A and B are shown apart, each in its own frame.
Chain A
């Protein structure tokens, strides 16, 4: 009998996470303009929604989701990440999104539970 093993099962699927994050961002800030009053709610909403969707996948991972929303005024913004983990099992994915008035950068880090 042949046994078919999908190589991806043991590692983080970043394409799937990418889609989840894009949908969450669109869902929370899709059509809005940058507003100082609302931005607090937006960042919290985006990270919570992403985390809920990721956990629903039911995989044995710990997750960290970070989100930065910046108003478009011409300022320079640079971000970097570095991770000390198990490169075979753990992974990350970063999504950059923008509309007319703001940038949104969301990063998901998934760390396998032994």
Chain B
């Protein structure tokens, strides 16, 4: 009997993860205007939604999801990340989303177990 595991199942697939992130952000903060009193629950909602969708993919990965929400008022924001991992199996994906009143940047890092 032939038993094989496709490469896709054990490497980080950026497109798939990108799609998951976009859907999660839309679902969590889609039509809203920046509000100081609600942004706490939005960032939590975005990361939790992303994480639960990612774990549903059922791949042997540990995940780290980060989310930044910034009000649009002309301030400059720069982010960077660097990783010390296994290049053949691990990967990351960052999605920048915006509406009229705020920016949302979500990064997902996947590390193979």
Which of B2-10, B15-23, B38-46 has 4 or more CB atoms under 8 Å from chain A? B38-46
With an 8 Å Cβ cutoff, the count of chain B residues facing the other chain is 45
A46 to chain B, nearest CB (A): 7
Q: Are B47 and A76 in contact (CB under 8 A)?
A: no
Give residues 43-67 of A contacting B (CB, 8 Å).
43-44, 46-48, 50-51, 54-55, 62-67
Q: A70-B77, A111-B62 are in contact. Are A79 and B82 (CB under 8 A)?
A: no
A43 pairs with B78, CB closer than 8 A: yes
A65 nearest CB neighbor, chain B only: B82
Given A62-B90, A64-B81, A65-B82, are A83 and B63 also a contact pair (CB < 8 Å)? yes
The answer, among B51, B55, B75, B107, for a CB contact under 8 Å with A75, is B75
- In the complex, A49→B111 CA distance in Å? 22
B64 at the A/B interface (Cβ < 8 Å)?
A: yes
Asked whether any CB of chain A lies closer than 8 Å to the CB of B65, the reply is: yes
A44 & B67 in contact (Cβ 8 Å cutoff): no
Q: Which B residues are within 8 Å of any A CB, using their own CB?
A: 34, 36, 39-40, 42-44, 46-48, 50-51, 54-55, 62-86, 90, 92, 107, 109, 111, 113
Chain B's closest residue to A47 (CB) is B82
Cβ of A85 under 8 Å from chain B: yes
Knowing that A40-B78, A67-B81, A77-B69 touch, tell me 10 more A-B residue pairs with CB under 8 angstroms. A43-B78, A43-B80, A47-B80, A47-B82, A75-B72, A79-B43, A80-B44, A81-B64, A82-B65, A83-B64
